[in-house]
Structure 1
């Protein structure tokens, strides 16, 4: 056990039980999973991505590359979460991942023996042959071996939400700079929202002893902020992206079952925060050091060791080697020494600051100058390190190695709006570039690593942000502390510069690090010059080594963007937060350039991974997109309809009164329509009102056939083309008056057709005096079809003359029903005599019920879309499967309706030579000729005896069993020069493994002379 008996910011009165790899463990409220594991003496927590090497906890924040775990069970199973950011909760279930059969014994660790074959870009070189299809063989094995955690496959029982927030000043980060900025802006009267990814506010102040002046400042500031009604502090919330117009994407995390007064019991919530100004107080990330076997469990960042000690009261080790090339690791060493830990400091510099050397001497810490760790030894835990120093090498036994290679300001969010970071030579790091108006930065993100300086800078930019918003209430701060006292209580603030200062106060230069430009030849020139002999890792998560970068350079991948993709460096869940700068330094050294000349990769959202559930919120199942109900929806449900989502509409698929399942029901409904009558809800058709002096001219241009000479009271079938001559949609348009037309479209294309018409009027023909309006919602629509349809219509509306003379095929009748408009158009999609009845939506259900009641003596029953589709196949009508964005008028056999007309959309490009190629497919009918077999939509068509490879000569688009013909029939598209009626084809469906013989016939299987329509 590594837990200290006192100290830290944990609540020892609240003991928490949890499991890791099925082992029962305990921690305290205020722990993270990582701190609790360390407290229980668990150092091995995972395996590496490629080589499956043992890995331990490396950091204490979202930059963690190693300690990825899977949380929860069943539907709550969530993989690849950094243990360093998981708040410990009672009953928490966690398991390690990317190992088999166990964490301690992972068979795939044998990959390390094949390291020479798994170098950078190995997948490009190894798995591309010997044949073109070799990858299809390799892929199965690679996917099983690669990856990290496994997500749950069961439905997630938790709820996710999305909400919108607003603020004058959004402060990202609740460290000393962020809190100071928020306090200043809040006191000025601005509405302030502070966003902090941790579950405690304080940032770097949480890594300091809890009894110092800095902690007093923190508690006082938080108390003051809590008393201000215009300030909100959002902990457990990550800003994952910054977008135009000062919109921040946030993810709020809450434990399952947690009740939050703002969002209820949602497990996670995405919030869009719209702010007038943004203050970036995102801090910085400590850099690692690179040496052989620098990935062993028990090696971690110096800042992490200090956080586990002072925040969580956990000793990560008892015999510690501190390796550094800057001053910031010394406070960690001092705090560990004060806790009774044996410390050795390995400092690559010749002259660390005297004050640090003096403090080390007082604490009994040995400081080895001009020294570097060259290797770490141990298997599943570090046991010793080899130190290279001027006099030779020495081995130091240890159970913890803490490393510090300097700091990289966290510039990711400041770069999301395409503002590139700039390099500062004095701190050897990138800082935010020129920020746009209304954006401010303070603290370590700007390269200022002193606590007192961060507080002062935060107050300044907080005031500037409030002023930018127009706040004017700048009173004296109600809470303050002497910043000198804060400095005196914190070792890391005693020096003026992160890397030390000369006696005159100017920054002192760090000695050359092994990955710096001037020593590139020494590290990368040849093996004798010191190339690492074992695995020296740059990117711990993706197993990218120094050797991989050398290889990528040798093979010509010199751009940082190419280096990233070739080696996969920075492409893990941590996005290379600890590795990016080391990689840039390495590439700069190899190319003999400076780091700013090399540049950085592009930082894009999200800053940390975001769960798909959080992004979706409630937008799932029927909430994924809005779906619509017709006015008769409730009647359908009450009368046994199985509803089907078609586009944005819910439509009756079939009725259980017709059969036990769809296969039985649709056949019965087909027979009913053919022999008596059926009633179909067609309210989902797109309905567009076209009016104006130029309405007829407009329709002549958008349809391939003419409408200007259409008589009033008559309807006409029309087809629209895209500009490129491909069929766009079909439908019918009825002329209601000299300047008034009523257009119907397919259900799927209704919104697209309206948008297309509006576009043409606004851009191509703004001179036409035409108005187009969607009236889809105004009309309930239904179709009564079948031999007895006229009798039913006459019985339902006794005052109307619906005789063949008064209402012929493609004729239209205007009437009223209960003082509401009623429109009847005689046209058919099924091939039977049929009437479309349009009634006001408010009386749609009433009209439907009246037809049902009037049709009882005639055997009228409702039918669904499955039967409707089958009926139209029998009649040879084309629909969505044939009008799929690839077919022309000639392909569908519709060129006759256009004749030799010109002047309509698509006319010119529709006559391109390629569109009349004899090899292009045309619409054909297909009939199965093998007893006991069926046709399948999507099957590929071949001539008998030809090899069944490739795309064949065509495909089947629609199929149905025809009770009238007692055979499986379908529509298809087949090469024109081979589509002879009466010839046999072979239809094969590779996915289903089906092959069946079919005969080409006329696509109009039923009533080719139209006698049923006109009777």
Structure 2
């Protein structure tokens, strides 16, 4: 092993050695092969340090071979396409790839901020809550910029993303998540039944752990069996195989979110090709076969470059033909860790010892080493040596303490089933003592689990369970699955004895490698009263990094359990939420960016607002005045504060023409609104207005606004600007599909009317000069929540509403759109002696929040009426859209 890839084995692996790929890391040229990941290519090159840790800036190397990687975060590409915090272990190598390490200065090998490690007594858990408190004026100018600079990870491009993203939809009978042995078995039996099957696999190759192991299925290599199954699935007409596709979330109604990395393995996307595609998949049944994640062991100095998960070492040897060192020891508490030692020995790598924490191991297991590997039972690694790379480990054995010279250490602490997706829909995992891990508990009706994700950790059992669950999924979707014989496999050893943390270790023992959370931090947080695992997570940042604690959570929980004298089951676990792995913001936005072909919508007073030096903000397709700066004002905040003070002390007006306005008429208009809104409308008196809230079918708030009754069979609805189109479409669906028998008609009149809010103590004085006599706008003549049709500006038809969202005396005056500009100018003229000034949406939002009204940002599709403090508005005497689902236990404050 020499040359540009000194740690590449001369043969073996599943890479294509005929295709040499050139790439650069931190500006240095290197090569790899087709089928490599960036991580495997860096290891083949001999790169040990790939990044720096979050808080202490300690050197970090590659830990894993998958999406659980906490250390190897890199910046990918350059210029506008630069993407930070990308896991090197999941980046498919391509010719011309450019990657850079991050979170260091001035260089990766010499980082000045590594001094933070010497100041660890200051940077304890929750230090930011208790330090930098004085003087308070220093916070924004000094403390915050320093903390942000020191604690950041990657840097975004700072300019618009030039890539394209798409949204797509798919429907199937059975969705299989994961393409390891269990997933492929489930997909095969379901596909043979005639069901429409989609298989999502986050890797670019199908096979899961079969690609990383030397296990045989049916007398041949496991990866060959996987290839044969994939070939059959490809030949079937109703099967869609989706490599490079991660299911990141589980939602209502059997809906799953998936991200397909269409062109991330190319230097640039092809013409008209998206970089990524966001899928919304609706499945009658889904089989989760996402496998399990190997758990490390916490001990002193366990973060040094060269320390890796034992299963990852096997992946690099067997799949990529790469060895991460020349002298590699194994530290394990499981039988599985021994397989790594055997695989290393098979390819000629020196294994100085297998360090097993268990007092004894089976003779059969020990015999597999043929006496060529030293066996240290009842032993534990208590410290490591080296700085930028591992040089030695200190082992405590029953006979004493000794140092072993190694350049790499494989660690195997057991396996944690990937239960995350099971919990996205409110499910909670349960503790399984037999495998010392959490396994799926309650599940959504449409979701089933198979294989290692279900705690089934042997190959034969995974295949059997995959076939059984796949058949059950197909049957539940309405198909008959024929039995398939389980292929023959070798028996495997699977014993384990839990070991979470090596007590009395020397040096920092890291639980969460990315966020630099140590065992001492967990102990410190518990001592300060943070016993709840949710509080512990937020106080220490355990499990809050880009890997979401995939290799850290269980060890952290076990340490808390030991401190508090509870079991891990009693301690519980934190809540898993989407996304399972990070999703690009561009993919979430998809095609919904820029102006497209839809024209910008301008209010009737837009030209006048431009004359007033307004700064505009996009609100849907509308351009609304955000604030009106004056000469001498230093920033937007000073302007907004002035506008708010002016409304509170004198009078101001704001253009609210963009609010959706829907004219609802007919004998059943009141009944129609009763069914749409949570509160009553049929009882509203003519000439009165009322505030209302509308729910989606799932019980979450869709929109809010006021509706006024102009006559017995005529109402004027207002909606928020952003939701005007959505609400009108919802009303049309309800009328045409749900209640076609109702005699009601409605139409949007948003563009027909210009409307202005006049607010402040002098609002009535201003309106007195605009509204035509003899209309009485006194408090007695026109009380709060009154509505009327009248004339203004000398005979122009108008509508007036006594509505306030600012907490001040306020009215909304509407005139036909062609008179909107004239009304704005007239309000300024008439109100000049009362101190009138225009205000924008920013000041409007401030005043709504100050007075406790619902602000636009609070209606984001994830809040309920109860969340917004509007529970009393919800009628208990009538039915309405969303009523049933709003009373789900998960949405109630219980």
TM-score band w.r.t. shorter chain: 0.7 to 0.9
CA shift, 1:550, in A, is 1.2
- Residue 812 of structure 1 aligns with which residue? none
Matching of residue 147 in structure 1 with residue 155 in structure 2:
no
Q: 1:115 aligns with which of 115, 120, 125?
A: 120
Q: Is the 8 A contact 2:92 2:265 kept in 1?
A: no
CA shift, 1:776, in A, is 3.6
- Residue 87 of structure 1 aligns with which residue? 92
Task: Look up the SS of the partner of 2:29 in the other structure.
Answer: strand
1:237-283 C-alpha deviation (Å, 9 max, x unpaired): 00100111111100000225969999961101110010000111111
The range that moved more, 893-902 or 116-125, is: 893-902
CA shift, 1:13, in A, is 1.0
Q: Aligned equivalents of 2:475 and 2:386: distance in 1? A: 57
Matching of residue 16 in structure 1 with residue 21 in structure 2:
yes
Q: Aligned equivalents of 1:753 and 1:237: distance in 2? A: 30
- Residue 879 of structure 1 aligns with which residue? 756
Q: Is the 8 A contact 1:959 1:970 kept in 2?
A: no
- Residue 813 of structure 1 aligns with which residue? none
- Residue 518 of structure 2 aligns with which residue? 545
Change in Cα spacing, 1:557 to 1:401, as seen in structure 2 (3 Å) is: same
Q: Aligned equivalents of 1:257 and 1:539: distance in 2? A: 29
CA shift, 1:351, in A, is 1.4
Matching of residue 349 in structure 1 with residue 349 in structure 2:
no
Matching of residue 600 in structure 1 with residue 573 in structure 2:
yes
Q: Aligned equivalents of 1:30 and 1:243: distance in 2? A: 33
CA shift, 1:94, in A, is 0.5
Alignment of 1:323-338 (within 5 A): 323-338=331-346
Q: Is the 8 A contact 2:413 2:500 kept in 1?
A: no
Matching of residue 307 in structure 1 with residue 315 in structure 2:
yes
- Residue 440 of structure 2 aligns with which residue? 432
Task: Look up the SS of the partner of 1:117 in the other structure.
Answer: coil
Q: Aligned equivalents of 1:753 and 1:10: distance in 2? A: 50
1:811-854 C-alpha deviation (Å, 9 max, x unpaired): xxxxxxxxxxxxxxxxxx8xxxxxxxxxxxxxxxxxxxxxxxxx
- Residue 513 of structure 1 aligns with which residue? 499
Q: Aligned equivalents of 1:11 and 1:606: distance in 2? A: 33
Q: Aligned equivalents of 1:183 and 1:134: distance in 2? A: 60
Q: Is the 8 A contact 1:62 1:82 kept in 2?
A: yes
Change in Cα spacing, 1:57 to 1:684, as seen in structure 2 (3 Å) is: closer
Q: Aligned equivalents of 2:553 and 2:717: distance in 1? A: 58
Q: 2:68 aligns with which of 52, 55, 63?
A: 63
Task: Look up the SS of the partner of 1:271 in the other structure.
Answer: strand
Task: Look up the SS of the partner of 1:622 in the other structure.
Answer: coil
Task: Look up the SS of the partner of 1:110 in the other structure.
Answer: helix
Matching of residue 2 in structure 1 with residue 7 in structure 2:
yes
Change in Cα spacing, 1:445 to 1:22, as seen in structure 2 (3 Å) is: same
1:158-182 C-alpha deviation (Å, 9 max, x unpaired): 1000110111001111000000010
Q: Aligned equivalents of 1:389 and 1:912: distance in 2? A: 78
CA shift, 1:98, in A, is 0.3
Q: Aligned equivalents of 1:596 and 1:558: distance in 2? A: 14
Q: Aligned equivalents of 1:402 and 1:327: distance in 2? A: 13
- Residue 30 of structure 1 aligns with which residue? 35
Q: Aligned equivalents of 2:209 and 2:730: distance in 1? A: 60
CA shift, 1:921, in A, is 7.5
CA shift, 1:153, in A, is 1.3
Q: Aligned equivalents of 2:765 and 2:509: distance in 1? A: 63
Q: Is the 8 A contact 2:784 2:802 kept in 1?
A: no
Change in Cα spacing, 1:133 to 1:471, as seen in structure 2 (3 Å) is: same
Alignment of 1:584-983 (within 5 A): 584-623=557-596, 647-649=619-621, 689=663, 691=665, 722=691, 751=724, 771=744, 773-776=746-749, 879-880=756-757, 882=758, 890=764, 893=767, 896-897=776-777, 900-901=780-781, 905=785, 971=837
Matching of residue 556 in structure 1 with residue 433 in structure 2:
no
- Residue 196 of structure 2 aligns with which residue? 191
- Residue 803 of structure 1 aligns with which residue? none
What is the count of residue pairs matched by the alignment?
Answer: 736
Change in Cα spacing, 1:50 to 1:728, as seen in structure 2 (3 Å) is: closer
CA shift, 1:515, in A, is 3.5
1:670-722 C-alpha deviation (Å, 9 max, x unpaired): xxxxxxxxxxxx998977556557999x99x99xx9998xxxxxxxxxx9574
Matching of residue 387 in structure 1 with residue 373 in structure 2:
no
Task: Look up the SS of the partner of 2:445 in the other structure.
Answer: coil
CA shift, 1:741, in A, is 7.8
Q: 1:241 aligns with which of 233, 240, 249?
A: 249
- Residue 931 of structure 1 aligns with which residue? none
CA shift, 1:37, in A, is 0.4
Q: Is the 8 A contact 2:828 2:837 kept in 1?
A: no
CA shift, 1:781, in A, is 6.4
Change in Cα spacing, 1:515 to 1:338, as seen in structure 2 (3 Å) is: same
- Residue 173 of structure 2 aligns with which residue? 168
What CA RMSD, in Å, does the superposition of the two structures yield over aligned residues? 4.6
Q: Is the 8 A contact 1:9 1:210 kept in 2?
A: no
Q: Is the 8 A contact 1:58 1:65 kept in 2?
A: yes
Q: Aligned equivalents of 1:389 and 1:557: distance in 2? A: 35
Alignment of 1:328-477 (within 5 A): 328-343=336-351, 344-362=353-371, 364-472=372-480, 474-475=481-482, 477=484
The range that moved more, 741-750 or 548-557, is: 741-750
Higher relative contact order structure (alpha carbons within 8 Å, sequence separation ≥ 6):
2
CA shift, 1:965, in A, is 14
Change in Cα spacing, 1:115 to 1:683, as seen in structure 2 (3 Å) is: closer
CA shift, 1:156, in A, is 1.4
| Gap runs ≥5 in structure 1 | 488-492, 500-509, 517-522, 524-529, 633-642, 654-681, 709-718, 783-828, 830-877, 924-957, 974-1015
1:496-520 C-alpha deviation (Å, 9 max, x unpaired): x343xxxxxxxxxx2x63639xxxx
Q: Is the 8 A contact 2:96 2:267 kept in 1?
A: no
Q: Aligned equivalents of 1:753 and 1:85: distance in 2? A: 39
Q: Aligned equivalents of 1:166 and 1:239: distance in 2? A: 14
Q: Aligned equivalents of 1:965 and 1:87: distance in 2? A: 66
1:373-403 C-alpha deviation (Å, 9 max, x unpaired): 0001001000000000011111100111000
Q: Is the 8 A contact 1:683 1:776 kept in 2?
A: no
Q: Aligned equivalents of 1:175 and 1:753: distance in 2? A: 42
Q: Aligned equivalents of 1:293 and 1:903: distance in 2? A: 73
Q: Aligned equivalents of 2:294 and 2:715: distance in 1? A: 69
Alignment of 1:211-226 (within 5 A): 212-226=220-234
CA shift, 1:116, in A, is 0.4
Task: Look up the SS of the partner of 1:249 in the other structure.
Answer: strand
- Residue 546 of structure 2 aligns with which residue? 573
Change in Cα spacing, 1:891 to 1:326, as seen in structure 2 (3 Å) is: farther
| Gap runs ≥5 in structure 2 | 1-5, 605-614, 626-655, 674-679, 694-703, 769-774, 788-800, 812-823, 840-894
1:902-953 C-alpha deviation (Å, 9 max, x unpaired): 898469xx9999999xxx6789xxxxxxxxxxxxxxxxxxxxxxxxxxxxxx
Q: Aligned equivalents of 1:181 and 1:438: distance in 2? A: 15
Task: Look up the SS of the partner of 1:116 in the other structure.
Answer: coil
Q: Aligned equivalents of 2:44 and 2:186: distance in 1? A: 35
Task: Look up the SS of the partner of 2:32 in the other structure.
Answer: strand
Change in Cα spacing, 1:261 to 1:151, as seen in structure 2 (3 Å) is: closer
- Residue 823 of structure 1 aligns with which residue? none
CA shift, 1:229, in A, is 1.4
